[in-house]
Structure 1
């Protein structure tokens, strides 16, 4: 237990405190992670909730310096090559298909290759990443999640020798933080949590006006973080992303199919 809530007097559970204070760490101290800590983190992640008890995910520990360097290049994040612990998490139906084939199931007709079970496996993988990150933070470590492994999916598949029915989802770098950044603001709770049904747009005629205070919080945060080029605010950032030039990274559904899954 840790801090006490002013509203109820109830002590805040440590896990909740960790989640409420989550930060992305992009620069790690030159300090190895103890093997027993790594084992405990991985054991915690293995207990992640999984659809239909299929555990349709796996993770690669990336140790080879050349592979690390190329992943860093693909992600556009050169420092990640030096993270004490670097993973790539994968949807993995290859293992389950092998089991099914050994028990006489035709691999071509197996439902394990279906779009439904692909996306179930994808969700399982994301949950495993989050569990790994949270467990790492419980040990005083920090982490950065790397969606940027999707910048070049075919090369990641080639680089990691991924067989059919395995697909990269997220990278995860972990280490002891060299510096802990300020907590980044998030959108107001009333714009993310609703009761029973999604609210009608008439309830909030102007989201830009409703989020004006949050815009100021975001601007102030980035002004402290990068005074020479602060972000104007959340709503202007959303608009900029919406009209930014589309970067073609290839047809992801085709790449999923090329790995043996059926997504039609």
Structure 2
């Protein structure tokens, strides 16, 4: 095992940071690391918006469900699927690419590109002794995010990443069993085995929460997920995606 793998395996979400801001050099390294991630056919269909303005961070924290660590961190990054530069490129080359820009495939490519870039960014930050936390809560009110950050059509804010100097100690949360995630040659569909693996994972997660909270929580993973997904979230999403010029075909 090397230091890169150790950093990955020791990943935890940090939700409490010191007030120390990231330096310009750190921000640049994190963004450059994000840019070094793989990108489908070299399209580089993403943009990163760094938010340092205190009032904007405060507003984003409110939008994200009053998550204080969106406001208080070393720097806040928002990763966006971005096809605007591709539209401009087509205009420069006098080509019509509207059908491609609005296709489901291109939307998927842009989301994957942004996600790959963000994971590189988080790994880079953690390798520098920083902590990070992904923030999907910015999608609670994307119209407000769009206005706050002056986001144009063909750009879609996907999620935020709070980065900073950790001000807490956290333990690594156990992931699903290897055999539940990795299937060899084909998707294994033995449901009795599938459920047995999930029950075993339920026991692991329940013990984790019990220890972490001093006995206040004993959540099972299947219980947690079923309760969370029982009521659909952000049902306006499809219309907003289309409004931003994505997924029309």
Q: Which residue of 2 aligns with 1:258?
A: 243
- For structure 1, the 5+ residue unaligned runs are 1-11
Equivalents in 1 of 2:96, 2:178: separation in Å?
Answer: 48
Task: State TM-score, norm by structure 1.
Answer: 0.88
| Mapping 1:168-187, distance limit 5 Å | 168-187=157-176
* Pair 212,257 (structure 1): closer, same or farther in 2 beyond 3 Å: closer
Q: Is the 8 A contact 1:62 1:86 kept in 2?
A: yes
Q: Which residue of 1 aligns with 2:204?
A: 217
| 1:206, distance to aligned residue in structure 2 (A) | 5.5
Deviates more, 1:66-75 or 1:37-46: 37-46
Q: Which residue of 1 aligns with 2:143?
A: 154
Deviates more, 1:207-216 or 1:22-31: 207-216
Equivalents in 2 of 1:253, 1:32: separation in Å?
Answer: 36
Which one has the largest radius of gyration?
Answer: 1
| 1:204, distance to aligned residue in structure 2 (A) | 4.0
Equivalents in 2 of 1:97, 1:240: separation in Å?
Answer: 41
| 1:237, distance to aligned residue in structure 2 (A) | 1.9
Q: Which residue of 1 aligns with 2:72?
A: 82
* Pair 258,222 (structure 1): closer, same or farther in 2 beyond 3 Å: same
| 1:187, distance to aligned residue in structure 2 (A) | 1.2
Equivalents in 1 of 2:128, 2:161: separation in Å?
Answer: 16
Equivalents in 2 of 1:176, 1:87: separation in Å?
Answer: 15
Q: Is the 8 A contact 1:208 1:235 kept in 2?
A: no
Q: Which residue of 2 aligns with 1:7?
A: none
User: How many residues end up aligned between the 2 structures?
Assistant: 248
Task: State TM-score, norm by structure 2.
Answer: 0.93
Q: Is the 8 A contact 1:231 1:237 kept in 2?
A: no
Q: Which residue of 1 aligns with 2:180?
A: 191
Equivalents in 2 of 1:239, 1:231: separation in Å?
Answer: 15
Equivalents in 1 of 2:194, 2:102: separation in Å?
Answer: 41
Equivalents in 1 of 2:137, 2:242: separation in Å?
Answer: 20
Secondary structure (helix, strand or coil) at the match of 1:245 reads: coil
* Pair 206,237 (structure 1): closer, same or farther in 2 beyond 3 Å: farther
Equivalents in 1 of 2:83, 2:201: separation in Å?
Answer: 42
Q: Is the 8 A contact 2:30 2:125 kept in 1?
A: yes
Equivalents in 1 of 2:225, 2:128: separation in Å?
Answer: 35
Equivalents in 2 of 1:208, 1:196: separation in Å?
Answer: 21
Higher RCO (C-alpha 8 Å, min separation 6): 2
| 1:256, distance to aligned residue in structure 2 (A) | 1.1
- For structure 2, the 5+ residue unaligned runs are none
What CA deviation, in whole Å up to 9, does each residue of 1:37-91 have, x standing for no partner? 2222211111111111111101111121121111101111123201111011111
Q: Which residue of 1 aligns with 2:8?
A: 19
RMSD: 1.8
What CA deviation, in whole Å up to 9, does each residue of 1:76-135 have, x standing for no partner? 11232011110111111111211211221246x352332211210111001111110000
Match of 1:95 among 69, 85, 93: 85
Equivalents in 1 of 2:149, 2:219: separation in Å?
Answer: 40
